[in-house]
Amino acid sequence: MKKLFVFLLLCAMCLGSVGCTENTPQTPDSPAANADTDPVSESDVSTTEESKDETAPAPEQMAFSMEDIKDYDSDFWTTLHELESGKTSVDNLSEFVFDDVTMHVSFEEPPTVTEERKYACVLTGLTAAGQTVRVNPPLTLYQNREVRLFEADGMYVFSSLLYDAGDTYILRKDGVYELHNGYNLTTEEPHYNDDLVVFTKGEDGNLKYECHPRKFTGLVSVGQALDYLTDRNEQFQESGSVTFQDGQPIFTVEESRTISQARDLETEFEGIKADLARHADADYRNVQTLDALIAVNASKYEKYTCKLARE
C-alpha cells in the first residue's frame, strides 16, 4: 500500500510539470522588469505618429545650375513654387547656390496671401568672385520678371528686369557694379529718353550689352512707337561689348539701328490716324501725315541718343 501511494505521488508531480515555461531571471533592463514601471503611454504613441506628418525642414542651402534660372520649367522655379506655397518648409533655408554664385534669400509674407503663395522669396544679397553685395532694396523673385544670371569674362551678372528696366549687379574680383532703372517708372516725362541697358553673354563668352530708350521698350500697341518720336532716323537701339575701367563700364558700339529700321512707321501711323482727331492735345487734331506728327512731337520732346560712356 505504501508503494502504491509513492507511485501515485510521483505521477501527480510529473503531470503538474506539463506546460511550464522556463522561469527566466528578470534584470532591471529587461522588458518584463519594466512592464509595470515604464509603460508606453497613449500620448507617446500619438506624438510619434504626428511627427511623421510634419513637413521636413529645408536645408540651409539648395544647389542648382545657372542654366536653371532662365528656364521657367526648371528644377529651381519648380522648387521655388513649392517653397512659396508651403509644400516645402522654408524655416532654415537662407541660400540658393548656382555654381559659383550664392543668392542670399529670406522668405516673407507677401502683400496678398493665397493658397498658392503663402511666402515671397526675397533676394537680400549676392556672393561671387570673392565679393558679397547687399541687395538694397531687397528684390522679390518673380517669374513674371526676366531674371538673368550668368558668367562672362570672369564676371557674374544678375539682373531682374521687366520690359528691360530693373536692377543689375555685376560682381567682379575687383568690385561690384550696380545699375538701377526702375520698372515702376513710366515712359512719361521726364523718363521717356532714359537709357535702358541689358547685359548679355556673347557667343565668344564676353560681356555684351544692348541699349535703347524707355520710350521704345515694350512696344505692344499699334502706334506706341510714335508717342515720342522726333525723327524718322532717331536711334532705336545700339549694342556692343563691355569692359571695366576704374570700376566703371566702358561701352564699345558694334551695331546701331534707327527706329525706321526696326519698325514700319507708316503702318504705325495709319493705325492711329483716325484717333488723332480726338486727341486730348489740340496740336495733334489736324495731323494728317506721319511727318506732321513727327514735327509736333519734335516741338515738345527731345531726340534720343544713347548716352553711355564710350571707350
**Position 213 in a domain:** yes
Element housing 10 (H / E): helix 2-16
Query: What's the rounded mean pLDDT across residues 270-274?
Result: 95
Residue 35's pLDDT band, with cuts at 50, 70 and 90, is very low
Residue with cell 544679397: 125
Average per-residue pLDDT in the chain? 83
Query: What pLDDT sits at residue 254?
Result: 95
Give the side-chain half-sphere CA count within 13 A for 288.
Answer: 1
**Residues 6 or more apart whose Cβ sits within 8 Å of residue 214:** 165, 181, 185, 187, 191, 192, 193, 194, 196
Query: What pLDDT sits at residue 58?
Result: 57
pLDDT surpassing 80 at residue 311: no
Instruction: Considering only CA atoms, give the Rg of the chain.
Output: 37
Q: In total, how many domains does the chain have? A: 1
Query: What pLDDT sits at residue 56?
Result: 54
**Position 234 in a domain:** yes
CA distances to 124, 162, 304 from 182, rounded to whole Å, are: 17, 9, 19
Percent of the chain residues topping a pLDDT of 70: 79
**Position 302 in a domain:** yes
pLDDT tens string 96-115: 999 999 999 999 998 888 88
**Position 94 in a domain:** no
Using alpha carbons only, give the angle 43, 44, 48 rounded to the nearest 5 degrees. Answer: 115
**Position 201 in a domain:** yes
**Position 199 in a domain:** yes
Query: What pLDDT sits at residue 32?
Result: 40
In which domain, by residue range, is 263 found? 185-311
pLDDT surpassing 90 at residue 159: yes
Select the more confidently predicted residue: 209 or 28: 209
Any bridge partners for residue 62, and if so which? 96
pLDDT surpassing 70 at residue 215: yes
pLDDT surpassing 50 at residue 259: yes
**Position 289 in a domain:** yes
CA dist 103 and 119 (Å) reads 17
pLDDT surpassing 80 at residue 29: no
Query: What pLDDT sits at residue 202?
Result: 94
Query: What's the rounded mean pLDDT across residues 46-68?
Result: 64
Query: What pLDDT sits at residue 54?
Result: 52
On whether the pTM is more than 0.85, the answer is: no
**Position 211 in a domain:** yes
